[in-house]
C-alpha cells in the first residue's frame, strides 16, 4: 500500500464552500494546519484588478493507531 504524504495542500474549488473543502480533507485523512489566501488578478481595461481570492489549506495527515 502506498504511504500518504505527511502534508498536502487542498485548494478550495471555484464552486465549493470552505466547509465542503474541509470535509474533503477529512475524507482524505488530513486535518487543516494552515490557511493561506492569495489574490487572483485579471486585466480589465488595461489595468490589473483583483478578480477573487484563492484559498488553500495545508493539511497534516491524521495519525491513527494503524500508523504506529
Structural domain spans, the chain: 7-62
| Residue 65 backbone class (left: φ over 0; alpha: ψ -120 to 50; beta: rest) | alpha
Given a cut of 70, whether residue 17 has pLDDT beyond it is yes
- pLDDT(68) > 60: no
Q: pLDDT value at position 4?
A: 78
pLDDT-based confidence at 63, cuts 50/70/90? confident
pLDDT tens profile 28-58:
999 999 999 999 999 999 999 999 999 999 9
Q: Which residue has the cell 486585466?
A: 43
Q: How far apart are the first and last CA of the chain?
A: 15
Give start and end residues of each alpha helix (H) in the chain: 18-28
Rounded to the nearest 5°, which phi and psi values hold at 67?
-75, -25
Amino acid at each position: 500500500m502506498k504511504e500518504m504524504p505527511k502534508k498536502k495542500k487542498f485548494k478550495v474549488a471555484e464552486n465549493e464552500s470552505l466547509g465542503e473543502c474541509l470535509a474533503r480533507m477529512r475524507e482524505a485523512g488530513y486535518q487543516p494546519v494552515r490557511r493561506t489566501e492569495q489574490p487572483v488578478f485579471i486585466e480589465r481595461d488595461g489595468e490589473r484588478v483583483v478578480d477573487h481570492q484563492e484559498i488553500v489549506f495545508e493539511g497534516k495527515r491524521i495519525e491513527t493507531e494503524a500508523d504506529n
